[in-house]
Structure 1
């Protein structure tokens, strides 16, 4: 269960000065474009994202996606899909958060992971003519599913609007991350980003029903384990079940419940009215308070209606058995044409404030006048370089292509944005003195022109994701440069006479064509050479003594690099051909993180001795076992062993107790030693575990896709959260204390047990206990004591 930890009151911490009209207009345009983009990408078939089914449970299908155009830092693409009963008017009404009370109720019903919330700007308020159209800027703090990692915060542009897509009416709520000076990262939190996210509701072919798609593409920032991000986002997309439940609840509250004398007497029915299952001592009878019929527990559910628990059969809950109040409808005369909309349609889709309309026309006229004067060679530079006191020029990838953002006016950092920049060169360009940051990515830059010079004030230079084949010696880098990136180009080497700036600390040369390590500046702290065909590294290679982070992922290495510096903290060696686990002398004692996923390691040593190691990632190797006398330093918190060939854990498992998390997915483990003290979080998907008995389970556990048939005499801490798949337990017994903890953890929370129990088998195995139900789940538990 995600428990939103408290953060300091947010609203008082944000100063929100009025936006410039031009900036406000730009945000409105971006919001509408973001919503249109979300609708297009929510298509499961024939859309820009390749979706594949991940799971199907409780009516929610969860898909994972591959988006070739997503930024490289987007670490997850998921969507949840569900058919629910309701109308677009009802769906849109759930997201009207215009008051503190509305926000409080929304968080309690649908977003328990939201720790804090602030509305910073309302750009396009709802109007009587367009009650479902809204654009604004929000700040959110979101609780992570593990207390071991910091919560995240987001600065988001939100857009809500009606649309039509291929003739189908719908309504959507989109989110995309933006940067605003008035919304800096919140102290104590990590600023994360949503590339594309939101809810899309389509009218279904079944009258009175909607298809709901909840899409999330995010960058959670920081070195979070993939399983943790995935678990958090799967719970988030699965929360659309709560929307369906709440809409049904509202409709059921609108119809009268029958009194006791109006119910069909229990004695007159021998079988369930809906499924015809015969009643017996093991199949209890229930009376539906809406239609009065007698049904079994599998064909009914307890609903909380106006503070009272009421039994309602599934037929009535879907509206098929009773006369429910009519669904609200509305005919919007001008929905957004999401399939074919262009910038002009977005601009005029909704009536904007008068000042906005004037600015819009001025902008359109300016664009038209500029187009008439364009020359074949990058005319935008003339306008950009005419701005006073420029401090930064950088490209930003958005859902609408690449934008050029220019900050000028010195310390004021006024922002000018130029959209859809696809190709730029530097011929004839003279960058101004005072420029500190220059980032030109994804603009098909092919060369640095002869005679070109960088301003001496430059501290950050990023030319990644272009088409450069070399860097000229005749264009020296400024001595004050601290960050330099040429990643994702086609560079093979540097000239022997090339000299590095004396203050350079971060160098990124990833994904080029280097076959050997270049001569490195002595001041480096971070170096990325990933994605280059290095194959081997000279044994005499001299690394900068100041180096703390080294990335050599996917460099075709079979042997570890030698002579690594004594201050190294982080080393990335994933996706190579390394077959032998590193020895104690291969890495310095300062090492904190070792990434060796997707290599060819077959065994582990008995003792791992780096005293400051915290994270060891060994996923996707060929490890078959863990030594019986295996030990780890007390500093290790995370051990990742997914997708190996491990069949069991050793009897001596004291080392497990020191960990905060271990992942063992996709192995062949069949059992645990009952004496093992497991870490706080463990992932065991896709193993062969058949029973969990006489042991202490962790707070967070994923045992999906295991043939588990028995859970007996286990203990677990408060706030337990299990991720499971659909298996049936023949035995399930707990102490009364553990039953109470499990009951509290599953009471209207994100913890939805997917497994069921064979009630007759559980009862037969329950010697001295009492069989109890777990809420309204199809789960019986033998409670002892």
Structure 2
């Protein structure tokens, strides 16, 4: 028997998220259903890894165009001929300090607590979420089904969206280059039906989306990150609004390095030194990381992990809720903190800025993006290419271009399965206060102007705003 939303727990449209804990009641999946979900997850994983790797313009069906650059993050927009109708395709590219070996601990959400923590600290647009099924849980692979409800990029002007998707997280090797990815593909689940009538949530379609991490051969300890988003908002939302929503989510990738550092410091076994073991700040005249001269005692900070003294820009104050305290940690120790029973992490030279973020050289070798007359740009970060970024380092053997055999695109139609077990705990997340209708319209018009929208159309929309017609028309999207 399939149990969905009962009459006693079915929420009304007026009820705000988060949903009650007993809203979803997943039933046990049949072996056939489990097999089909796992096949969908693995095929979507392979498609994501292939499409996100560097390819030449003639090999890749997606033609990327640089949309915006924010510090070390670049956001590209593209057109995917294999995506569902009215889909928008966005790609975020950056680099972070870390290793493939630690990614399962940082980004594998095999527990609901980890899934909640990630959404709460990294994705501000997630207003509710649930973990529905765990299909595969091995050290090498995790596959499960999850649900998320998302706030619109301009609150109040577009209905909230939700998605039920199967997720696959595991390591891969491509032409000798190690990588790790987390993919998402929309599926239909009986215990999580369409909530348009019950809650006014429009079920969006997610296809070939997720995170892909690859080692950078020229920079040991650095990972190239691509965050590919391919989604259709459905409903009456136009394609430009879908692109705006995905651009906003892709920009969150710029905070991934900070999230990783915080998770490392929160890990069990990380040792914090007592005050008596810290290096006296008066004994240091230069920062232990950037070697800049320290002026006055107020500009000197002790790292709570290694005990050394840094300048203000080479450290950051972290609140460790596990230890219930605020601590100052240098930018090196937030990448490789000392553990109980272990020695200090050996300081290694790297292209690191005072802020602690790597001077990225995000390069997709032979990428499909190029500097043609159509405005396309090469996939690099901060305009730094690999040769210039590693000019001061020993030359290494160039790695072979990343490529993979062409895979036929998988169907983007969600699977429909029967599903249920004990109801999982739902995540109750904070919803930010909404802006007034006029403020939301002004914010939307500003976003459109940044995207290079037609000035004549913007003037027409501004006139509609003055008469109040624009708010009424957008609320039905």
> Where on the TM-score scale, by shorter chain, does this alignment land: which range?
0.5 to 0.7
Q: Match of 1:233, SS?
A: helix
Matching residue within 90, 100, 122 for 1:77: 90
- Corresponding residue of 1:143: 151
Q: Match of 2:317, SS?
A: strand
Q: What is the CA-CA distance between 1:19 and the residue it aligns to?
A: 4.6
Q: What is the CA-CA distance between 1:153 and the residue it aligns to?
A: 0.8
Q: Taking structure 1 as reference, are residues 19 and 264 closer, same or farther at Cα in structure 2, changes over 3 Å only? A: closer
Distance in structure 1 (CA, Å) of the matches to 2:202 and 2:160: 7
Can you list the C-alpha shifts for 1:581-606, whole angstroms capped at 9, x where unaligned?
xxxxxxxxxxxxxxxxxxxxxxxxxx
Distance in structure 1 (CA, Å) of the matches to 2:111 and 2:465: 52
Q: What is the CA-CA distance between 1:291 and the residue it aligns to?
A: 4.0
Question: Do the aligned partners of 2:97 and 2:335 also contact (CA within 8 Å) in 1?
Answer: no
Matching residue within 114, 120, 141 for 1:133: 141
Q: What is the CA-CA distance between 1:152 and the residue it aligns to?
A: 0.8
Distance in structure 2 (CA, Å) of the matches to 1:27 and 1:139: 15
Distance in structure 2 (CA, Å) of the matches to 1:280 and 1:250: 32
Question: Do the aligned partners of 2:288 and 2:310 also contact (CA within 8 Å) in 1?
Answer: yes
Q: Taking structure 1 as reference, are residues 137 and 101 closer, same or farther at Cα in structure 2, changes over 3 Å only? A: closer
Q: Taking structure 1 as reference, are residues 97 and 624 closer, same or farther at Cα in structure 2, changes over 3 Å only? A: closer
Matching residue within 458, 467, 477 for 1:634: 467
Q: Taking structure 1 as reference, are residues 151 and 165 closer, same or farther at Cα in structure 2, changes over 3 Å only? A: same
Q: Taking structure 1 as reference, are residues 10 and 400 closer, same or farther at Cα in structure 2, changes over 3 Å only? A: farther
Matching residue within 10, 31, 34 for 2:41: 31
Q: Taking structure 1 as reference, are residues 99 and 63 closer, same or farther at Cα in structure 2, changes over 3 Å only? A: same
Q: Taking structure 1 as reference, are residues 151 and 204 closer, same or farther at Cα in structure 2, changes over 3 Å only? A: same
Q: Taking structure 1 as reference, are residues 48 and 283 closer, same or farther at Cα in structure 2, changes over 3 Å only? A: farther
- Corresponding residue of 1:317: 334
> Does 2:302 correspond to 1:287?
yes
Q: What is the CA-CA distance between 1:15 and the residue it aligns to?
A: 5.2
Q: Taking structure 1 as reference, are residues 235 and 302 closer, same or farther at Cα in structure 2, changes over 3 Å only? A: farther
Distance in structure 1 (CA, Å) of the matches to 2:324 and 2:241: 35
Q: What is the CA-CA distance between 1:82 and the residue it aligns to?
A: 2.3
Distance in structure 2 (CA, Å) of the matches to 1:70 and 1:101: 32
Question: Do the aligned partners of 2:129 and 2:147 also contact (CA within 8 Å) in 1?
Answer: yes
Matching residue within 107, 110, 118 for 2:122: 110
Matching residue within 241, 247, 254 for 2:260: 247
Distance in structure 2 (CA, Å) of the matches to 1:159 and 1:338: 21
Q: Taking structure 1 as reference, are residues 294 and 637 closer, same or farther at Cα in structure 2, changes over 3 Å only? A: same
Distance in structure 1 (CA, Å) of the matches to 2:25 and 2:469: 41
Q: Taking structure 1 as reference, are residues 400 and 52 closer, same or farther at Cα in structure 2, changes over 3 Å only? A: same
Question: Do the aligned partners of 1:283 and 1:297 also contact (CA within 8 Å) in 2?
Answer: no
Question: Do the aligned partners of 1:156 and 1:177 also contact (CA within 8 Å) in 2?
Answer: yes
Q: What is the CA-CA distance between 1:192 and the residue it aligns to?
A: 0.8
Question: Do the aligned partners of 2:67 and 2:76 also contact (CA within 8 Å) in 1?
Answer: yes
Q: Taking structure 1 as reference, are residues 297 and 267 closer, same or farther at Cα in structure 2, changes over 3 Å only? A: same
Q: Taking structure 1 as reference, are residues 61 and 38 closer, same or farther at Cα in structure 2, changes over 3 Å only? A: same
- Corresponding residue of 1:688: none
- Corresponding residue of 2:22: 12
Can you list the C-alpha shifts for 1:559-589, whole angstroms capped at 9, x where unaligned?
xxxxxxxxxxxxxxxxxxxxxxxxxxxxxxx
Q: What is the CA-CA distance between 1:34 and the residue it aligns to?
A: 0.6
Can you list the C-alpha shifts for 1:392-421, whole angstroms capped at 9, x where unaligned?
xxxxxx93258899x9xxxxx99xxxxxxx
- Corresponding residue of 2:434: none
Distance in structure 2 (CA, Å) of the matches to 1:9 and 1:59: 37
Q: Match of 2:327, SS?
A: strand
- Corresponding residue of 1:301: 316
Q: Taking structure 1 as reference, are residues 248 and 144 closer, same or farther at Cα in structure 2, changes over 3 Å only? A: same
Question: Do the aligned partners of 1:76 and 1:219 also contact (CA within 8 Å) in 2?
Answer: no
Q: Taking structure 1 as reference, are residues 200 and 635 closer, same or farther at Cα in structure 2, changes over 3 Å only? A: same
Distance in structure 1 (CA, Å) of the matches to 2:124 and 2:310: 33
Q: Match of 1:339, SS?
A: coil
- Corresponding residue of 1:93: 105
Can you list the C-alpha shifts for 1:159-213, whole angstroms capped at 9, x where unaligned?
2233221222222221111234543211221111112211222234344443332
Matching residue within 210, 235, 250 for 1:237: 250
Distance in structure 2 (CA, Å) of the matches to 1:622 and 1:147: 23
The answer for unaligned runs of 5 or more in structure 1 is 326-336, 343-397, 408-412, 415-614, 639-657, 662-785
**What TM-score results when the alignment is normalised by the length of structure 1?**
0.39
Distance in structure 1 (CA, Å) of the matches to 2:403 and 2:454: 45
Question: Do the aligned partners of 1:194 and 1:218 also contact (CA within 8 Å) in 2?
Answer: yes
Q: Taking structure 1 as reference, are residues 309 and 33 closer, same or farther at Cα in structure 2, changes over 3 Å only? A: same
Can you list the C-alpha shifts for 1:585-637, whole angstroms capped at 9, x where unaligned?
xxxxxxxxxxxxxxxxxxxxxxxxxxxxxx9xx9855649969x978663323
Alignment of 1:109-188 (within 5 A): 109-122=121-134, 124-126=135-137, 130-148=138-156, 149-186=158-195, 187=198, 188=200
Can you list the C-alpha shifts for 1:682-707, whole angstroms capped at 9, x where unaligned?
xxxxxxxxxxxxxxxxxxxxxxxxxx
Question: Do the aligned partners of 1:86 and 1:247 also contact (CA within 8 Å) in 2?
Answer: no
Question: Do the aligned partners of 1:138 and 1:156 also contact (CA within 8 Å) in 2?
Answer: yes
Q: What is the CA-CA distance between 1:217 and the residue it aligns to?
A: 0.7
**What TM-score results when the alignment is normalised by the length of structure 2?**
0.62
Q: If you compute each CA radius of gyration, which structure gives the higher value, 1 or 2?
A: 1
The more displaced of 64-73 and 193-202 is: 64-73
- What is the count of residue pairs matched by the alignment? 358
Distance in structure 1 (CA, Å) of the matches to 2:223 and 2:120: 23
